[in-house]
Amino acid sequence: MASGSHRSLPLAFLRTKFHLLGRSGQVSQIGAKEGADLCGLIVRMGAYEASQESSLVVCYGMGFFLWLFGFVLFTTTHPYVSGFISLGFVVWGTFFLTVARVRPEGKVLKYRIWFWRGAIPYHEILECDESWVFGYVKCRSYLFPWGKLYFVRGYADDVLFGWDRKMIASIRDKAGYRIR
């Protein structure tokens, strides 16, 4: 927030004192101006995180649906044909279920797939780009199960309909290479 923009806030908010719990466990008190700046930061972070969460829920829902459809599609009257088609839906559903959530940190790229967490050092990253609605990271070593780490992207905040490209740009910058 720019300085002076806290004047448009209601008077009750300006008199409010915020209590923050620090890492050491001590409670510190800040005034309304600092609280307004902090609230703006929380709202901005919350919107991107919410869009990333909704993308992840849709992705997992699609994965479960495709798995279920693959198993329902299988019939015993034509086991080879229906088995081949249902296997395609099961593999496609598995792809949707193995999409990760990533978080660029100082020296590593942290990711999470369901309950499994991992980290990739930036010097291991060969390529980072977008593929359909997902982003992907290709490393020097093989990443199970697809060879690349596919991750979900949130909605872009600078265009009406589009996917976030800031995460990919951030990973590229930290990995030390530019767009081709």
HSE-CB at 143 with a 13 A cutoff on CA atoms is 23
Determine, yes or no, domain membership for 51: no
Determine, yes or no, domain membership for 53: no
Determine, yes or no, domain membership for 52: no
**Residue type at position 66:** L
Q: At what angle do helices 32-73 and 79-97 cross, to 10 degrees?
A: 170
Name the domain count of the chain: 2
Q: What is the pLDDT of residue 15?
A: 43
Q: What is the pLDDT of residue 48?
A: 54
Task: Give dist(CA 114, CA 161) in Å, integer.
Answer: 27
Determine, yes or no, domain membership for 16: yes
76-112: pLDDT as tens digits: 888 899 899 999 999 999 999 999 888 888 899 999 8
Q: What is the pLDDT of residue 76?
A: 86
Whether 132 has a pLDDT exceeding 70, the answer reads: yes
- The band of 178, judged by pLDDT with boundaries at 50, 70 and 90, is low
Are 105 and 178 in the same domain?
A: yes
Q: What is the pLDDT of residue 168?
A: 86
Q: H helices within 15-113, ranges in order?
A: 32-73, 79-97
Determine, yes or no, domain membership for 141: yes
Determine, yes or no, domain membership for 44: no
3-60: pLDDT as tens digits: 444 444 444 444 444 444 444 444 455 444 454 444 444 434 455 555 666 677 788 8
The model carries a pTM of 0.64
Task: Give dist(CA 17, CA 83) in Å, integer.
Answer: 64
> 171 lies in which domain range?
100-180
Whether 121 has a pLDDT exceeding 90, the answer reads: yes
Q: What is the pLDDT of residue 38?
A: 47
Are 104 and 178 in the same domain?
A: yes
The pairs formed by 59-66 with CB atoms below 8 angstroms and a separation of 24 or more are 59/96, 59/99, 59/152, 60/96, 60/97, 62/93, 62/96, 63/93, 63/94, 63/95, 63/96, 63/97, 63/99, 64/93, 64/97, 65/93, 66/90, 66/92, 66/93, 66/96
Determine, yes or no, domain membership for 152: yes
Determine, yes or no, domain membership for 11: yes
DSSP annotation of 77 reads S
Contact (Cβ atoms closer than 8 angstroms) between residue 99 and residue 151: yes
Task: Give dist(CA 166, CA 17) in Å, integer.
Answer: 34
